[in-house]
Amino acid sequence: MPLPTPGGRDAPVPPDDAGVSFVMPVLNEHRYLRRAVASTLSQAVPGPVELVLALGPSSDGTDAIARELADADERIVLVANPAADIPVGLNLAIRASRYPTIVRVDAHSELSPGYTRRALDTLRRVRAANVGGVMRADGRSPFQRAVARAYNSRVGLGGGAYHGGGTEGPAESAYLGVMRRSVLEEVGLFDESIRRGEDWELNLRIRRAGYRVWFDPGLSVVYWPRESWTRLVRQFRATGAWRGELVRRYPRGTPLRFFAPPALLVSAAVSLAVAAGQVARRRGGLMSVLHLPLAAYATLVAVGALGRGGGRGWRDKAWTAAVLPSMHVSWGAGFLWALVRGARDTVDTSRLDGRNTPLP
């Protein structure tokens, strides 16, 4: 039996007033949950809506906030996610929901006004199974703003349209995503064995089933990055590890940009080894061709930090210069480790520490 042509199948279009289910995995988000919920429930869409929160074992009082919000609004449904894993929580929330369109929301994010209405219009217009827009990272502290600049820059996370914007059209994946339930059920929901990158893998299966995944630059979501260097490094190491695992599982389906951070680490290791040998032999030649990739990367970071994208003041630029290699090196290290040994039980431990202070 021949495989479906990618993008050749139209996703079903339910009636306008059939209802929308928002699903949100939550773990240690007491700083962000109220705003995430408020931006979600303020979305104006035809028909009924519900918000299903999949609550992991938080240690910062998040569950109490969630119960308070649910008591005040009957549209909020709470389900327990003792495993804490994001794909497990998403599947629990989807199975507990009722409506034919599923909108994934991150507790670290805020939907822009009109987001869901536009996404529904786009789904209907192009008959896509999943549509996503642009992640617009933002920050409050100098460090978080530096991370946000890196997220929004092609130097930081270049490649995916949802990081830098682009032209509307078919996409490899979708940030968060507004999805048709019938297609999700057909392809088997999220793969619970994948702890990071689960959205990319799901969209791969959607496309292989013949449906369209669509990028609409008119959709945007504010995302709040990690607030400290240690959390950022832990997050990116786990992300890199699971990207390495995805390459092991889908060697023919992964994009070349996955290999950029590990290639950087390999190049750096070769350059340092050559330099050490030259010093030991008291020879020159520090401009050997083997040093060029590392020199090019250092130049790229300098351009990213000192240019307009690096921020306004020198403090912002210094933070940006520190954040960029922190992201790339930790991502690449995780990728190489998992490419050899597999991601196994790698967990994003940056989500497990609930010691935060409330936002003003």
Q: Which of 116-125, 251-260, 290-299, 305-314 has the highest mean pLDDT?
A: 116-125
The string of DSSP codes covering 16-58 is TTS-EEEEEEESS-TTTHHHHHHHHHT---SS-EEEEEEE---
User: Which are the contacts of 342, defined by CB distance < 8 A and separation ≥ 6?
Assistant: 245, 248
Asked whether residue 342 is domain-assigned, the answer is yes
Mean pLDDT of the 197-221 span: 95
User: pLDDT tens-digit profile of 26-66?
Assistant: 999 999 999 999 999 999 999 999 999 999 999 999 999 99
Q: Count Cα neighbours of 31 within 13 Å in the Cβ-side half-sphere.
A: 18
User: pLDDT tens-digit profile of 271-309?
Assistant: 777 766 666 565 555 556 666 777 777 887 887 777 766
Q: Is the model more confident about 162 or about 332?
A: 332
d(CA 260, CA 243): 12
Asked whether residue 110 is domain-assigned, the answer is no
Q: Is the model more confident about 147 or about 159?
A: 147
- Structurally, the chain folds into a number of domains equal to 1
Is the per-residue pLDDT at 219 higher than 90? yes
CB 100 within 8 Å of CB 16 = no
The whole-number pLDDT of residue 306 equals 76
User: pLDDT tens-digit profile of 65-116?
Assistant: 999 999 999 999 999 999 999 999 999 999 999 999 999 999 999 999 999 9
In terms of residues, how long is the chain?
360
Is the per-residue pLDDT at 360 higher than 60? no
The whole-number pLDDT of residue 115 equals 97
Asked whether residue 291 is domain-assigned, the answer is yes
The whole-number pLDDT of residue 28 equals 94
Cα-Cα-Cα-Cα torsion 349, 353, 354, 359, nearest 10 degrees, comes to -80
The whole domain housing 327 covers 256-351
Q: What percent of the chain clears pLDDT 70, i.e. is strictly above it? A: 88
pLDDT band per the 50, 70, 90 thresholds, residue 347: confident
User: Which are the contacts of 210, defined by CB distance < 8 A and separation ≥ 6?
Assistant: 3, 4, 5, 6, 7, 8, 9
